[in-house]
């Protein structure tokens, strides 16, 4: 399947906040309560449509352990969007946001869209971080905010798609240099006149086929 | 072109009808083959999946050949061989309407020599007879000069000296049984035939009931030479010691009066044991599963008692199978501690060991499959970061849990002997566990690098130009070892000043060309000052048969061998490698004829040694995938000179686990066709392999890995003798 744009996302946040579950819910529409702990980086991809344009999201899911300030520069540099996730039932994961954000801001390109996600909204009874606190943090730092539940899928689609929408708007406004792939945006085959039609042979036909 | 393109919509399931010739039945006087009907999702099914599906559907124990029915434009029915993902894709497209008809034929046994390992059938797979194998060795011996290295004890363990021909290469035998195990011990239970025992396990694994006992031997838990009752006493004593160590921190943990360190460790371990192998019945159910609790205790005790190593993600994956097998917390702790003696370096924050392992895997790919190596280079995937989990967890997570147990014991049985003189130490030093004065712990608690990000940055710096990380960034020169050169200026490291007289890699590998910059070669660059790396020079006889310049460095001889040495006798390693290539149907389907190769081997000049087959394929692959014009790639020397990097010696390769490198290599080789045909980029490769977590076919992987490993050992063995 061909696409107009490919956006690269990263998901960051403390260990155990539900990063992999968010990704799985978004790419596979399922929740796996006992997801394997992530070793290194895992990837996911899904095609979405914004204003009739096919957009492929390629998402990097990182291991959260001890990774404060340490995710490499290059890892951030190649991303157009970031989901910064905390767990509403664990205050420490909220308290670490500043560290994560500093890290992201320092290493990413300045246009990277960051979405703040308070995950596990289904666990209302165990809530330790108020929704208002999340909103306030987002306002203060100029982020988009949402509470999600990877378990019930509440707001998960929205989180990924709204981020994409914002990136797309930045492209249309000319803020992103789409020719510099280090920004985490790649023009898809739909944009390339040479192979707009007739996918010939196995190689090019399967270009966009690896999404889930 | 194919008017019969199916009416099937893209993505629809494909109906399959498979017939197996040797399960024929007689019905009304006619011979009717046995059929199976099923449906497949063409987007999810690759060749490997289909192959294993078929083998299970018909319960086929041997190798077999798959063909699919196809009507050519004239309506003639023909059967085409199904040998790769590429073929399968074609089969889905051309012949899946109304259903894909497969014909399955067993490969007749008389064609399969004891020596021959055929993972997937191929018409051109070659059989190397033991006799030829031996004569190859003698030729190699004549040509090779001694490197003066201690060769891995494993070789002696495998008794490869002069008897390699007796091995049924790679193929798995039945697991070691109780009664057989008795034969390896004397009357009082002392394990006396250690090497034979390990060799037997390497070939066949263990009966599950025997694991509890034998794993302790394999994991090197016992001091050398204990008899049965001494071992039991030892375990009793050590178990008591474990209970004491555990109670040291448990007291504080129960009272919730923890030091910062203890709180940090317990919270991390808690999160991770709750998501380690939980799909397995042993660990499944509620979070109060007693085995999950035991795993927590083992890992916490280990981390607290080994403050230098601490706890790192991934350890739970390694401890989990041990606990399952031992089903005893104390014994598991002891065995895990023994395992960690070898593995703790994987988790080291410096990333040095992991980076070396990546380098070795890189070398192995370059050595065995230059085509694929070039592909990885072109797709900015030569950092191999998608293999991180494989190397860190020694492939544990790539196989289903029960198969992983087999894989682990086979791997452990291949490890070099390291007889234990003294008792195993269960702790490094006693930590101070009293809670810190400041009760509320300041946040953030830690600012620390993780091993992954460290390795990641080392690899990235090494395999892409410093500034850019992007989908198809301008391809810079790629350095194989550069991971360790991060202290150096990247400009100088990437400068093409490498002396071509020494290492002619740029003649060997398809350059990392991109479409824009297709006019010049970007050679594979090796850091100039190898001294700064932990490799040392191979001391070589200056009189090389082909008179090629020697690769000689000075100083820093710590007994390791440069993985990239590419002097004259690499022609021989190329020969060996070509033989492997020719023999491995998945890897090569080129026309490398057996005669041609043995001719080359007997050509003492070795001047123009042929690996032409693979290089031509390299060029084809390059042209197909990157549209490099032939004029760019048919560098005259390029094709003629088959110089390949050689692999590090067994005592170096894989940093103590050389077989691991072959396991990883095998998995890569088994998927390389599929990767190349679909021109996956590095991220897509990572996704491809993530989807295969716990799904690799153990038997296919093990038998091919063993075969590659035996040949590698035989190669070094002959070099050494």
DSSP codes joined into one string, A49-111: EETTEEEEEEEEEE--TT-TTTS-HHHHHT-SEEEEEEETT-HHHHHTHHHHHHHHHHHS-TT
Phi/psi for B120 (5° steps) reads: -125, 145
User: How high is the pLDDT of residue A58?
Assistant: 92
Cα(B716)–Cα(B678) distance, integer angstroms: 36
Mutate to test the interface with B, among A13, A21, A31, A66 (most CBs of B within 10 A): A66
Q: Using CB atoms, which residue from B389, B447, B473 is nearest to A68?
A: B447
CA–CA distance, A15 with A6 (Å, rounded to integer) = 27
pLDDT classification of A63: cutoffs 50, 70, 90: confident
Nearest to A95 among B393, B444, B471 (CB): B444
Q: What is the pLDDT of residues A3-43, one digit of tens each?
A: 999 999 999 999 899 999 999 999 999 998 888 888 888 88
Name the β-bridge partners of A43.
Answer: A60
The reported pLDDT for the residue numbered B618 is 41
| Three-point CA angle B337, B340, B343, nearest 5° | 175
A78·B470 Cβ contact <8 A:
yes
Please answer whether residues B447 and A67 qualify as being in contact, where contact means their C-beta atoms are separated by less than 8 angstroms: no
Residue at token pair 């300030």: A69
Nearest to A39 among B313, B468, B684 (CB): B313
Tell me the torsion sign for CA atoms B643, B649, B655, B657. positive
DSSP secondary structure letter of residue B525: B
Asked whether residue A71 carries a pLDDT value surpassing 90, the answer given is no
Q: How far does A44 lie from chain B, in Å, by closest CA? A: 7
**Euclidean distance between CA atoms B232 and B213, whole angstroms:** 10
Give the distance between the most distant pair of CA atoms in chain A: 56
Stretches in chain B below the pLDDT threshold 50: 1-8, 110-167, 439-448, 464-642
Residue A20 CB neighbour total at 10 angstroms: 23
Residue of chain A with shortest Cα separation from B386: A41
Confidence at residue B235, expressed as pLDDT on a 0 to 100 scale: 97
pLDDT of residue A72: 52
Question: Does any CB of chain B come closer than 8 Å to the CB of residue A109?
Answer: no
- Which among B173, B181, B257 has a CA at the least distance from the CA of B216? B181
For residue B503, give both structure tokens: 């290492």
* Residue closest to A38 by CA, chosen among B269, B313, B458, B385: B313
Angle at B192 between CA B190 and CA B197, to 5 degrees: 110
A64: nearest CA partner in chain B: B450
Is B489 buried (19+), middle (13-18) or exposed (0-12) by CB count in 10 A? Answer: exposed
Tell me the chain B residues in contact with residue A107 when contact means C-beta distances shorter than 8 Å: none
Can you give the pTM of this predicted structure?
0.65
Q: Report the distance separating Cα B354 and Cα B455, nearest Å.
A: 7
Chain B: give the shortest CA distance to residue A13, in Å.
Answer: 13
- Is the Cα torsion angle A138, A167, A21, B277 positive or negative in sign? negative
The HSE-up count of residue B513 (CA atoms within 13 Å, CB side) is 24
B43-47 long-range contacts, CB within 8 A, separation 24+: B43/A209, B43/B11, B45/B88, B46/B85, B46/B88, B46/B674, B47/B82, B47/B83, B47/B84, B47/B85, B47/B87, B47/B88, B47/B120, B47/B673, B47/B674
pLDDT at site B37: 81
Pairing outcome for strands B64-71 and B77-82: antiparallel
Distance from CA of B258 to the nearest CA of A (A): 17
Q: Which of A37, A78, A103, A150 to mutate to test the interface with B (most CBs of B within 10 A)?
A: A37
Domain residue limits, chain A = 5-187
Coil vs helix vs strand at A82: strand
Residues of A in contact with B690 (CB under 8 A): 42-43
Q: In chain A, count H helices and then E strands.
A: 7, 7
pLDDT of residue A183: 85
- Chain A nearest-CA residue for B465: A74
What's the Cα-to-Cα distance from B145 to each of A198, B149, B540, B543, B573, rounded to whole Å?
A: 56, 11, 7, 10, 13
| DSSP state for residue B73 in the 8-state scheme | T
Q: A99 at the B interface (CB within 8 A)?
A: yes
Q: Which residue of A has its CA nearest to B624?
A: A203
CATH of domain A5-187: 3.40.50.300
C-alpha B717/C-alpha B721 separation (Å) is: 6
A74:B457 CB<8 A: yes
Report the alpha-carbon distance of residue A116 to residue A84 in Å, rounded. Answer: 5
Q: Does A123 touch chain B (CB under 8 A)?
A: no
CB contacts, 8 Å: B313 with chain A: 15, 37-39, 63, 65
Question: Cis omega (within 30 of 0) on the bond before B98?
Answer: yes
Is B385–A78 a contact, with Cβ atoms under 8 angstroms apart?
Answer: no
Q: Evaluate whether ipTM surpasses 0.90.
A: no
Please report the pLDDT score of residue B204 as a whole number: 95
Asked if the C-beta of A70 comes within 8 angstroms of chain B's C-beta atoms, the answer is yes
CB contact under 8 A, B275 and A35: yes
For residue B718, give both structure tokens: 């002959």
Contact A202 B454 (CB under 8 A): no
Peptide bond into B715 cis (omega under 30): no
Residues of A in contact with B470 (CB under 8 A): 78, 180-182
**Residue B361, token pair as written in the block:** 């895997």
Residue B708 and residue B43: Cα distance in Å, rounded?
Answer: 31
Q: What is the pLDDT of residue B27?
A: 61
Q: A77, B388: Cβ pair inside 8 Å?
A: no
Residues in chain B with CB shorter than 8 Å from the CB of A186 are 471
Inter-chain CB pairs, A–B, below 8 Å: 139
> What is the distance between the alpha carbons of residues A183 and A76, in angstroms, rounded to a whole number?
9
Contact B577, B708 (CB under 8 A): no
Instruction: Provide the pLDDT for residue A97.
Output: 95
Least confident of A111-125, A154-168, B28-42: B28-42
Three-state secondary structure call for residue B2: coil
Which pLDDT value is given to residue B576?
A: 32
* B419 alpha carbon, distance to own chain's centre: 26
Report DSSP state, residue B504. -
pLDDT at B158: 45
- In this complex, which of B452, B473, B687 lies closest to A45 when CB atoms are compared? B687
Chain A residue with CA closest to B625: the answer is A203
Q: Could you give the CA distance from residue B455 to residue B483 in angstroms, rounded to a whole number?
A: 8
- Residues in chain B with CB shorter than 8 Å from the CB of A37 are 271-272, 275-276, 313, 316
């Amino acid at each position: 399947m061909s696409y107009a744009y490919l956006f690269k996302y990263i998901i960051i946040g403390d260990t155990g906040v539900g990063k992999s579950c968010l990704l799985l819910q978004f790419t596979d529409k399922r929740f796996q309560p006992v997801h394997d702990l992530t070793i290194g980086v895992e990837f996911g991809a899904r095609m979405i449509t914004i204003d009739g344009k096919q957009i492929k999201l390629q998402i990097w899911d990182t291991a959260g352990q001890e990774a404060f300030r340490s995710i490499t520069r290059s890892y951030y540099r190649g991303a157009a969007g970031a989901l910064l996730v905390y767990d509403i039932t664990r205050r420490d994961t909220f308290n670490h946001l500043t560290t994560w954000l500093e890290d992201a801001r320092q290493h990413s390109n300045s246009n990277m869209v960051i979405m703040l996600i308070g995950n596990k909204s289904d666990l209302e009874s165990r809530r330790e971080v108020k929704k208002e606190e999340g909103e306030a943090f987002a306002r203060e730092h100029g982020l988009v905010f949402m509470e999600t539940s990877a378990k019930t899928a509440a707001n998960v689609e929205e989180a990924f798609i709204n981020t994409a929408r914002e990136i797309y708007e930045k492209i249309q406004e000319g803020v992103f240099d789409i020719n510099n792939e280090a920004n985490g945006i790649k023009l898809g085959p739909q944009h390339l006149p040479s192979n707009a039609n007739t996918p010939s042979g196995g190689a090019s036909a399967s270009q966009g086929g690896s999404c889930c | 072109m194919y008017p019969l393109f199916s009416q099937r919509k893209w993505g629809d399931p494909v109906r399959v009808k498979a017939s197996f010739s040797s399960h024929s039945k007689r019905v009304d006087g006619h011979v009717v083959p046995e059929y199976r009907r099923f449906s497949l999702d063409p987007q999810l099914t690759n060749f490997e999946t289909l192959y294993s599906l078929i083998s299970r559907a018909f319960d086929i124990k041997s190798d077999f050949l798959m063909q699919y029915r196809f009507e050519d434009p004239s309506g003639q029915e023909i059967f085409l061989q199904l040998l790769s993902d590429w073929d399968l894709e074609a089969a889905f497209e051309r012949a899946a309407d109304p259903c894909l008809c497969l014909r399955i034929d067993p490969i007749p046994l008389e064609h399969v020599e004891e020596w021959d390992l055929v993972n997937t059938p191929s018409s051109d797979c070659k059989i190397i007879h033991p006799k030829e194998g031996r004569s190859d060795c003698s030729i190699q011996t004549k040509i090779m000069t001694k490197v003066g290295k201690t060769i891995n004890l494993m070789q002696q363990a495998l008794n490869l000296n002069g008897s390699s021909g007796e091995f049924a290469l790679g193929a798995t035998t039945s697991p070691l049984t109780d009664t057989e195990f008795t034969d390896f011990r004397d009357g009082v239970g002392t394990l006396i035939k250690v090497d034979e025992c390990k060799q037997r396990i390497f070939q066949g694994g263990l009966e599950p009931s025997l694991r509890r006992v034998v794993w302790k031997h394999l994991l090197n838990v016992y001091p050398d030479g204990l008899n049965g009752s001494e071992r039991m006493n030892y375990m009793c004593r050590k178990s008591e010691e474990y209970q004491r160590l555990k109670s040291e921190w448990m007291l504080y943990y129960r009272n919730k009066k923890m030091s910062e360190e203890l709180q940090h460790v317990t919270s991390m371990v808690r999160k991770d044991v709750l998501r380690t192998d939980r799909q397995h019945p042993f660990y499944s159910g509620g979070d109060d599963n007693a085995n999950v609790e035991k795993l927590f205790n083992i890992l916490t005790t280990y981390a607290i008692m080994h403050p230098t190593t601490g706890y790192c993600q991934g350890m739970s994956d390694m401890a989990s199978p041990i606990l399952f097998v031992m089903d005893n917390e104390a014994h598991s702790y002891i065995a895990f501690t023994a395992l960690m003696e070898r593995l703790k370096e994987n988790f080291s924050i410096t990333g040095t060991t992991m980076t070396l392992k990546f380098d070795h895997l890189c070398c192995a790919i370059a050595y065995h499959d230059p085509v694929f190596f070039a592909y990885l280079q072109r797709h900015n995937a030569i950092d191999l970061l998608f293999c991180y989990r494989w190397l860190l967890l020694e492939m544990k997570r790539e196989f289903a849990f029960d198969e992983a147990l087999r894989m682990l014991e086979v791997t452990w049985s291949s490890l070099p002997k390291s007889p234990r003189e003294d008792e195993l130490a269960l702790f490094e030093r006693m930590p101070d566990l009293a809670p810190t004065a400041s009760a509320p712990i300041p946040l953030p608690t830690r600012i620390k690098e993780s091993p992954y990000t460290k390795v990641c940055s080392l690899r990235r710096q090494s395999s892409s130009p410093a500034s850019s990380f992007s989908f198809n960034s301008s391809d810079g020169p790629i350095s194989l070892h550069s991971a360790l050169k991060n202290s150096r200026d990247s400009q100088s490291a990437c400068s093409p000043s490498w002396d071509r007289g020494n290492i002619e890699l740029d003649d060997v590998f398809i350059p990392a060309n991109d479409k824009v910059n297709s006019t010049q070669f970007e050679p594979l660059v090796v850091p100039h000052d190898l001294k700064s790396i932990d490799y040392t020079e191979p001391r070589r006889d200056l009189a090389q048969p082909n008179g090629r310049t020697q690769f000689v460095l000075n100083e820093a001889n710590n007994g390791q061998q440069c993985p990239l040495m590419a002097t004259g006798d690499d022609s021989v390693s190329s020969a060996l490698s070509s033989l492997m290539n020719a023999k491995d149907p998945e890897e090569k389907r080129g026309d490398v004829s057996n005669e041609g190769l043995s001719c080359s081997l007997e050509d003492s000049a070795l001047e123009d040694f042929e690996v032409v087959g693979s290089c031509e394929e390299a060029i084809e692959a390059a042209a197909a995938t990157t549209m490099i014009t032939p004029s760019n790639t048919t560098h005259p020397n390029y094709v003629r000179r088959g110089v390949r990097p050689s692999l590090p010696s067994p005592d170096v390769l894989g940093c103590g686990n050389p077989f691991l490198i072959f396991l990883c290599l095998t998995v890569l080789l088994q998927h390389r066709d599929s990767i190349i045909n679909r021109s996956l980029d590095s991220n897509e490769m990572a996704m491809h392999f993530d989807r295969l977590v716990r799904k690799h076919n153990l038997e296919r992987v093990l038998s091919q890995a063993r075969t590659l490993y035996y040949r590698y050992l035989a190669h070094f063995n002959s070099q050494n003798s």
